[in-house]
Chains A and B, each alone.
Chain A
Amino acid sequence: MSTHRGPPDGDVDRRVADQAADVIGGVVERVFRTVLELRDEVLAAYRAAVARDGRMCERDVTALRDPVLGRLGREHQAAIGMGVVVAPGLLADRELRIEWWQYGTRAPGAGRGEPTLLEVDLNPASVGFYDYATAEWFVGPRRTGRRHVVGPYVDVHGTDRYLLTLTVPVVADGAFLGVAGADLPVARFEALVLRELGDLAADVVVVNPEDRVVLSTSARWLAGSRAVFTDADTARTLAEPRWRVVTTRR
């Protein structure tokens, strides 16, 4: 895809890309810091349960409610949902379990109300079955052992939103226990980044590894659309998430 560059001015492009990368990195890192704290809470709960009963049970997951709610409340500017998703078969008394809390969708400025527990359909025979064990945000951290950012995507049967989902694996003594994570609405991510970016000398397009536009300052590229950029177009690639930052002259 052509980026319709103006007269070559690599310095401006690089400066704009660096600035955008810093802002985006800042937003993402802040959410991840909170998610990592939550992960540590899960690990502590797991070790305590194993020491006490030999195995973790559903009530140990329910007891993570307060740690989740505390952090979600603190991170309210960015994350709209946060929680813990348990690996199938981990718990002694329940095959699948999610402890995920989220704020409701409201008009901006209308107040956010209280967070509610996400209730998903965990019945495999239902048309609305929320098959989280095959979801990318679950499979990714499980496979690689590293943190993942998935999206933008429509969270079907889950939260009814257009999201970025940030997850980290929870691993104890080599055993995968599940993931801790947060949902960041694409709209909110855009607002946070645009506000901090201010005026730029060039337009910025951010694409994920699947060539999907995450964020754009130009209507030529809409968030959620596909845009295939080459390495030559790319001014900067972030570390994790592996997003390309492309700058383009107006």
Chain B
Amino acid sequence: MRLLSGDARRAVFAPLDDGAMRSEAVVRRLGSAIALGIIVDGEQLPSEQQLAASLNVSTVTLRDALSDLRTRGLVDTRRGRGGGSFVCASEEALTELARGRLRELAGTDLRELGDVRAAVSGAAARLAAERASEGEIERLRETLGRLAAATGGTARRRIESRFFIDVAAAAQSVRLTREEIELQFELGQVMWGAGLAEADPLATVEGHHRVVDAIAARDGVLARGLTEEHIASVTARLVDAHVRLMRRHNRRPDHAANGAFPEAAGT
């Protein structure tokens, strides 16, 4: 999915090429878009027919997906005049969606995601140290300032995504930036939500500041090393959370979502 081109919103409704399990793919696509704020709270979705046509799924599949989203509390369908499907950007529902995705994925999937993130974000950090202008470095610090001031898991995730994307842009690489955006989109599917015990937000901001300091000091090796370390620790927390969810899920499937999990969030 292309978010960079400014037609992010159009991309949300672009045809799905995921193949199997299509209604789940629709749920994931729309869920991520809601989480990232590309489609906003209260916004009306296109009609079922339009939506099915643009996503290239059958109306049956689309109805399954909408019903799933309704059950999750991410979509509200009103009947009659002025009716339709409306977006509800609830933190709780997004958290639950992320939990479901964490259960679906295997530990190796999460490890793979971490590997690619390390390759892309690590390289971006190193190149940014070589290439970023003073102005770009200043903007990275501003983004971290906003991250430190943000309240709520969703707001923090959005700003943190932005930070990683901006580092890639500061590396002067359109292609790395595009990769980073797609990774953040994918990561968003397992990472959303408040209520999950984040890694200490202040420590996270602190860690990112050290990366920016290394970029400012033109120390590419350090910037890359710190970025890779950070991503490895996030990946480890995600795998831990995944394993815990799976084990609980097997023991008490009905209550899987209700336990208190020391889970991961914060990239």
Contact of B5 among A136, A160, A210 (CB under 8 A): A160
Main secondary structure on chain B at its contact with chain A? helix
CB atoms of B174 and A160 under 8 A apart: yes
CB atoms of B2 and A121 under 8 A apart: no
A126 to B40 CA separation, bound complex (whole angstroms): 8
A224 to B166 CA separation, bound complex (whole angstroms): 15
Contact of A126 among B5, B37, B172 (CB under 8 A): B37
Contact of B130 among A119, A128, A130, A226 (CB under 8 A): A226
CB atoms of B161 and A127 under 8 A apart: yes
> How distant is B47 from chain A, measured CB to nearest CB, in Å?
20
- The interface residues of chain A lying within 8 Å CB-to-CB of B3 are 127-128, 157
Contact of B177 among A119, A120, A126, A156 (CB under 8 A): A156
A103 at the interface (CB under 8 A from B): no
- The interface residues of chain A lying within 8 Å CB-to-CB of B6 are 118-121, 128, 130, 157-160
A161 to B6 CA separation, bound complex (whole angstroms): 11
- The interface residues of chain A lying within 8 Å CB-to-CB of B168 are 154
Contact with B along A204-217 (1 / 0, CB 8 A): 00000011100000
CB atoms of A225 and B172 under 8 A apart: yes
CB atoms of B9 and A119 under 8 A apart: yes
Contact with A along B1-29 (1 / 0, CB 8 A): 01111111110000000000000000000
- The interface residues of chain A lying within 8 Å CB-to-CB of B184 are 127
CB atoms of B166 and A119 under 8 A apart: no
- The interface residues of chain A lying within 8 Å CB-to-CB of B133 are 210-212, 226
> How distant is B28 from chain A, measured CB to nearest CB, in Å?
16
A153 to B173 CA separation, bound complex (whole angstroms): 9
- The interface residues of chain A lying within 8 Å CB-to-CB of B131 are 212, 224-226
Which parts of A113-171 form the interface with B (CB within 8 Å)?
118-121, 123, 125-130, 136, 152-154, 156-162
A126 to B38 CA separation, bound complex (whole angstroms): 6
CB atoms of A127 and B130 under 8 A apart: no
> How distant is B170 from chain A, measured CB to nearest CB, in Å?
8
CB atoms of B177 and A225 under 8 A apart: no
CB atoms of B4 and A156 under 8 A apart: yes
Contact of A121 among B38, B130, B136 (CB under 8 A): B38
Given A127-B37, A225-B131; A154-B161 close (CB under 8 Å)? no
Which parts of A149-196 form the interface with B (CB within 8 Å)?
152-154, 156-162
> How distant is B82 from chain A, measured CB to nearest CB, in Å?
22
> How distant is B32 from chain A, measured CB to nearest CB, in Å?
10
- The interface residues of chain A lying within 8 Å CB-to-CB of B36 are 126-128
Given A119-B9, A125-B40, A160-B178; A154-B158 close (CB under 8 Å)? no
> How distant is B239 from chain A, measured CB to nearest CB, in Å?
25
A152 to B168 CA separation, bound complex (whole angstroms): 14
> How distant is B178 from chain A, measured CB to nearest CB, in Å?
7
Given A127-B37, A152-B172, A154-B173; A159-B5 close (CB under 8 Å)? yes
Residue of B6, B136, B165, B178 with most partner-chain A CB within 10 A: B6
CB atoms of B37 and A154 under 8 A apart: no
Which parts of B109-164 form the interface with A (CB within 8 Å)?
130-131, 133-136, 158, 161-162
B169 at the interface (CB under 8 A from A): yes
A121 to B184 CA separation, bound complex (whole angstroms): 17
Among residues of A, the one whose C-beta sits closest to the C-beta of B2 is A160
CB atoms of A162 and B174 under 8 A apart: yes
Instruction: Please give the residue numbers on chain B whose beta carbons come within 8 Å of chain A beta carbons, in ascending order.
Output: 2-10, 36-38, 40, 130-131, 133-136, 158, 161-162, 165-166, 168-169, 172-174, 177-178, 184
A sample of 23 inter-chain contacts (CB < 8 A) reads: A118-B6, A119-B7, A120-B6, A123-B37, A125-B158, A127-B37, A127-B162, A128-B6, A128-B37, A129-B37, A130-B6, A152-B172, A153-B172, A154-B168, A154-B172, A156-B166, A157-B6, A157-B8, A160-B6, A160-B174, A210-B134, A211-B133, A224-B131
Apart from A127-B158, A157-B8, what are 16 other A-B pairs with CB-CB below 8 Å? A119-B6, A125-B40, A127-B3, A127-B37, A127-B162, A127-B184, A128-B6, A128-B8, A128-B36, A129-B37, A154-B172, A157-B3, A210-B133, A210-B135, A225-B131, A226-B131
Question: What are the 9 A-B residue pairs with the smallest beta carbon separation, nearest first?
Answer: A224-B172, A126-B37, A210-B133, A160-B5, A154-B169, A120-B6, A127-B158, A127-B36, A156-B169
